[in-house]
Amino acid sequence: MKFGRALGIKKGDTVAFIGAGGKTTAIFALAKEIAPPVVVTTSTHFGAWQADLAENHLIIHSPAELQPLDDDQDGVLLITGTQGDDDRLHGLDEATLNALHAFGTVSYTH
């Protein structure tokens, strides 16, 4: 059985992963099971090296930068804030997360 089916995930659902260890692996495994467009983002951070798990990576600074997004995205799109000196991709602020959710795509938060 596929991961998403086991969890009962449907198109348009938002799924949050919490806890220690294995979240990023689970997030991207699940995201790759679902027909595009699939958006992965974080409210905390990802390691910069983990951006390679997505087919596309968009770094944004404000909700206005989401306007070019549409349903023609191929594969998994990772959307994060900027990369810090600690080799981590920063999460999105609440306003940007809310704007992203308004697009109605399936999104996975970490």
- CA-to-CA separations, 96 to 19, 35, 60, 100, 104, in angstroms, rounded: 23, 23, 9, 6, 14
Q: Which residues, 6 or more positions from 109, have their beta carbon under 8 angstroms from its beta carbon?
A: 14, 15, 16, 17, 41, 42, 43, 97
Q: In this model, does residue 78 exceed pLDDT 90? A: yes
pLDDT at 106: 41
Question: What global pTM score does this model have?
Answer: 0.82
pLDDT at 70: 63
Comparing 21-35, 38-52, 91-105, the range with the smallest average pLDDT is: 91-105
The SS3 of residue 106 is: strand
DSSP assignment of 12-64 equals: T-EEE--SSSSHHHHHHHHHHHSPSPEEEE-SSEEEGGGGGGSSEEEE-SSGG
